Chain A
Amino acid sequence: MNPRKDLITINSLSDEDIHTILQSTSAMKDIFTKSVKKVPALKGKSVLTLFYEPSTRTRSSFEVAAHRLSADVTTFTVSTSSVVKGESVHDTIDTLMSMKMDYIIVRHKNSGIPAVIARHCKAAVINAGDGSHAHPSQAFLDAFTIKEKYGEVAGRRVVIIGDILHSRVARSTSTILRRLGAEVAYMGPGPLVPPQQHTGIPRFTNWNQIFEWKPDVIYLLRVQNERIDTPFFPSADYHAAFGVTEERLRRIDDLNLSIMHPGPVNRGVEICDAAMNYRNCLINNQVENGIAARMSILYHLTPQTQSHD
């Protein structure tokens, strides 16, 4: 993999980059079997988590990943009330530059913010989710989880279900899976799935079409009411139309399909309680693989903080 400072989107990566990061994810997972679950690769390096949107899960996953690589982790708390438009991001960048951070992991509600930060600082910037744009570390852990389950991603069929319009996970995960040779389809309520001529991804409108398509993986998105200013639909209605109900779970079980979800799940909305204990539910694998994938990403990025000062 050629030296790369930042990870902002899957689109910006070469095929070689994607393969290298996936391959190293597997090596990182080996570390979890040691009694000392830590390697010295990033000893003395400083990692900053800069989350403008609350997310305990993703943030912890990155922090554990950084700790396991022996990096020092600082948590930059941004109280949402003090954030005034994008100006504060520029001010924050100046502050971060003075702190001489090597890696900055950023999450923001505005699409495109991590790219702006990356352009203006020497630290390696990792996009931990920006608006509806991209969530590349999630894409890597998803691809790795499918690869681990099926041996190869190529040739698999994955249907992503839910609010595609607002979902950075749908964008990044569909991109990496298609780059690796999988087929992806979308399903969700009309107002929340962009048309195929915009996405290039076929669109289903109901579960019968999905079962006919014979997917390998059912990938459920979280219904994010907090990201939609006006709620689009009642959640019970969503569950009946698009969720994994107990009846659909039996069908999924019969067909031996896997279930994935980026978490945290809304039980009774996108997924029924029973599905959480389904034998092919890969949600916990995703969480564990998330740490390994993020270690691999941290390891492969090369900050430009060394060559200066």
Chain B
Amino acid sequence: MTNTYITNATWALTGEKIDLRMGHGDEPVSIYRNGIALPGINQVTPAGEMQVPAGARTIDATGKILMPALFDLHTTISIDGHSKRECIYRAGQAANRGGVWGMLVMPSSGFIFDNTATLDSFDEAVSQRSFATMVPAGCITEGMKGEQQAPYNTLAARGVTILSDSGNMPASLLMLHRAMKYAAEMDLTFAIRGDVPCLSRNTYMHPSSTSYILGLHGTPPCAEEIGIETIIRLAKDAGVSLHVQTVSTAEGVEIIRRAKAAGMKGLTAEVALHHLLYTHEDVGDYNTTFKTTPPLRERTDCEALLAGVKDGTIDCIVTDHTPCLPFAKKQDFVSAPQGMVGLDTFLPALYTHLVKPGKLNWADVVRACSSAPVKIVNPYDREEDVPVVAPLLLFAPEEQQVVTCESLCCGTTNNPMLNSTLYGGVTLPINR
């Protein structure tokens, strides 16, 4: 996995006022009057009123924000009926548009990362086709069937650091407990969504006034909460690192907060952007775009999740990008697949809906969407034998875009922000 963003040439950003947001607090570290020189990969030379180096190529960055690009910890790239190479290309292009330089790719149909061959062919396709770094998450169980443990030693030797069955809990807690103990010694992290499958089976949305009106059976919040409590206790007992995926309830945040306060090591958690923004009311009259797992819940849950991001209980904000074909989403709500896409619009959406209204500051975004996920995944360039570091991007907060089907690169249109206006233009890499 090589970083394809910035070559070793010397670049200079020029402009009257450039904000530098590197995640050290809400205030910009410094405002450079004349420019920033970038002598090498991803290095900023703090230079105050420095001179543009001789021979440097300049980029006008007036009024723009310079910040590290984002890393998405939860992406599903497979699109039914598309070749693997096409899926990789689409996701990479969409990520690039949304300010995302790298992602943890969940295993999914066509990308069952439970063996070396699949990982090899994936890495090869990524190196040929992708604009973005793609780190595969290994399967917890063979074929993600929830039964037989995958070969962790083999996967770890291939560079896998995170194990996930794309969020799903294995059927047997005994199996999971043993798997965790087995993986603990290989320094692997389990990424699981809290769930009790027998409580959430045949349910389609949050139990609410909307689910009553639509006659859709509700997924009780306690299914998720019991699940979170369960995986935390199993991981603690096994001594393995655990990343709790897509927390959606206020009580879920509280359980994680308590565990962290009790000093549990290696525990991290994520929230999907849509769980910070939307509620069951957005499902409206069977709008299948808003069918997600876990479901969109109450406004009070959105607020508790946001507070969790602010205080660090929730480490990361993710897209939970899940492409679904228009045909599939046009079915009835029960039959339609769950999931939204969000890579194309990730940074503009974060800015428009969270930073601009003052709910999060840039430091929160850089931490939750760049530095924290990178720390969890530890992307490593095996060819160059160095850790992969986030490149920088330029963000133009005044730019506006209307999200249309044509403007989405990810291959499907199940984006909840379709036909809405988002603020912010992304330039990634900065010399694009």
Q: A115-B286, A133-B214 are in contact. Are A90 and B331 (CB under 8 A)?
A: yes
Residue A237 lies at the interface, judged by CB distance under 8 Å to chain B: no
Least CB distance, A174 to chain B, in whole angstroms: 11
Q: Which segment, of B25-33, B202-210, B301-309, faces chain A?
A: B202-210
Judged by a CB distance under 8 angstroms, whether B396 is at the interface is no
Asked whether, in the complex, the Cβ of B212 is within 8 Å of the Cβ of A86, the reply is no
The answer to whether the Cβ of B263 comes within 8 Å of any Cβ in the partner chain is no
Closest to A110 in B: B334
Q: Which of A110-158 contact B (CB under 8 A)?
A: 110-113, 115-116, 130-134
Contact A198–B202 (Cβ < 8 Å): no
Taking CB atoms, residues of chain B closer than 8 Å to A110 are: 332-335
Assess the A171–B330 pair: CB atoms within 8 A. Answer: no
B336 touching A86 by the CB < 8 A rule? yes
Asked if residues B207 and A133 are in contact (CB atoms below 8 Å), the reply is no
Q: B81 interface residue, CB < 8 Å from A?
A: no
Closest to B204 in A: A111
List chain A residues, Cβ under 8 A from B285.
Answer: 115
For the complex, give the distance between the alpha carbons of A250 and B294 in Å. 49
State the total of A-B contacts with C-beta under 8 angstroms.
69
Cβ contacts under 8 Å, B207 to chain A: 194, 198
Please determine whether B332 and A86 come into contact, CB atoms closer than 8 angstroms: yes
**Interface flag for A168 (CB, 8 Å):** yes
| Residues of B close to A133: CB separation below 8 A | 214-216
Mask for A162-206, Cβ within 8 A of B = 1, else 0? 000100100100000000000000000000001001111000000
Complex CA distance for A108 and B334, rounded to whole angstroms: 11
Q: Does B413 contact A (CB under 8 A)?
A: no
Chain A residues near B334: list those with CB within 8 A. Answer: 86, 110-112, 131
Give the residue of B211, B214, B286, B335 whose beta carbon is less than 8 angstroms from that of A85.
Answer: B335
Separation in Å of the A149 CB from the closest CB of chain B? Answer: 28
Residues of chain B lying within 8 A (CB to CB) of residue A134? 215
Return the contact of B211 from the options A130, A168, A198 (Cβ within 8 A): A198
Instruction: Judge if B157 is at the interface, Cβ distance under 8 Å.
Output: no
Shortest beta-carbon distance, B392 to chain A, in Å?
A: 45
The prevalent SS among residues of B at the interface is loop
Residues of B within 8 A of A113 (CB): 332
Contact B215–A111 (Cβ < 8 Å)? yes
Residues of chain B in range 200-237 having any CB-CB distance to chain A below 8 Å: 202, 207-209, 211-217
Chain A residues contacting B335 (CB-CB under 8 Å) are 85-87, 89, 110
How far apart sit A171 and B209, CA to CA, in the bound complex (Å)?
A: 12
Minimum Cβ distance to chain A for residue B226 (Å): 17
Q: B209–A200 contact, CB under 8 A?
A: yes
* Cα-based distance from A115 to B330 in the complex (angstroms): 11
A229 to B336, CA, bound (A): 21
Q: Mark A216-239, 1 if CB is under 8 A from B, else 0.
A: 000000000000010000000000
- Nearest-Cβ distance from residue B14 to partner chain A, whole angstroms: 54
Contacts A112-B286, A132-B217, A229-B202 given; does A171 touch B333 at CB 8 Å: no
Q: Is there an interface contact between B214 and A87, defined as CB atoms closer than 8 Å? A: no
Q: How far is the CA of A239 from the CA of B291 in the complex (A)?
A: 38
C-alpha gap A198/B207 in the complex (Å): 8
Question: Residues 221-263 of chain B: 1 if any A CB is under 8 Å from the residue's CB, otherwise 0?
Answer: 0000000000000000000000000000000000000000000
Question: When each residue 312-338 of chain B gets 1 if its CB lies under 8 Å from chain A and 0 otherwise, what string results?
Answer: 000000000000000100111111100
B215 contacts which chain A residues (CB < 8 A)?
111, 130-134, 168, 171
Could you tell me how many residues of chain B have their Cβ less than 8 Å away from some Cβ of chain A?
Answer: 21
A11 within 8 Å of B (CB atoms): yes
Q: Is the CB of B336 within 8 A of A198?
A: no
Residues of B with C-beta under 8 A to A86 = 331-332, 334-336
Q: Per-residue 0/1 for B373-402: is the Cβ within 8 Å of any A Cβ (1 yes, 0 no)? A: 000000000000000000000000000000
- Decide: A171 and B331 in contact? CB cutoff 8 A: no
A116→B330 contact, CB < 8 A = yes
B332–A87 touching, CB < 8 Å: no
Q: Contact at B332–A171, with CB atoms within 8 Å?
A: no
With the chains together, A116 CA to B288 CA distance in Å? 11
CA of A133 to CA of B210, assembled, Å = 11
Which residue of chain B has its CB nearest to the CB of A113?
B332
Q: Is the CB of B209 within 8 A of A116?
A: no
**B75-112 residues at the A interface, CB under 8 angstroms:** none
- Give the nearest-CB partner of A131 in chain B: B215
A217 to chain B, nearest CB (A): 22
CB distance from B184 to the nearest CB of A (A): 37
Contacting pair A116 B332 (CB below 8 A): yes
Give the distance in Å from the alpha carbon of A87 to the alpha carbon of B331 in the complex: 7
Contacts of A197 on B, CB cut-off 8 Å? 209
* B209 surroundings in chain A (CB, below 8 A): 197-200
- By beta carbon, the residue of chain A nearest B334 is A110
CB neighbours of A200 from chain B (8 A): 209
Q: How far is the CB of B38 from chain A (nearest CB, A)?
A: 52
Contact call B331/A116, Cβ cutoff below 8 A: yes
Q: Chain B residues near A87 (CB, 8 Å)?
A: 331, 335
- Which chain A residues lie closer than 8 Å to B332 at the CB level? 86, 89, 108, 110-113, 115-116
- 14 more contacts with CB within 8 A, not counting A112-B334, A132-B217, are A86-B332, A86-B334, A87-B335, A110-B332, A110-B333, A111-B214, A111-B334, A112-B333, A133-B214, A134-B215, A165-B217, A168-B215, A171-B213, A199-B209
28 contacts between A and B (CB under 8 A): A11-B213, A85-B331, A85-B335, A86-B332, A86-B335, A89-B331, A90-B327, A90-B330, A90-B331, A110-B332, A111-B214, A111-B334, A112-B216, A115-B285, A115-B332, A116-B332, A130-B215, A131-B216, A131-B334, A132-B217, A134-B215, A171-B215, A197-B209, A198-B207, A198-B208, A198-B209, A199-B209, A200-B209
A interface, CB within 8 angstroms of B = 11, 85-87, 89-90, 108, 110-113, 115-116, 130-134, 165, 168, 171, 194, 197-200, 229
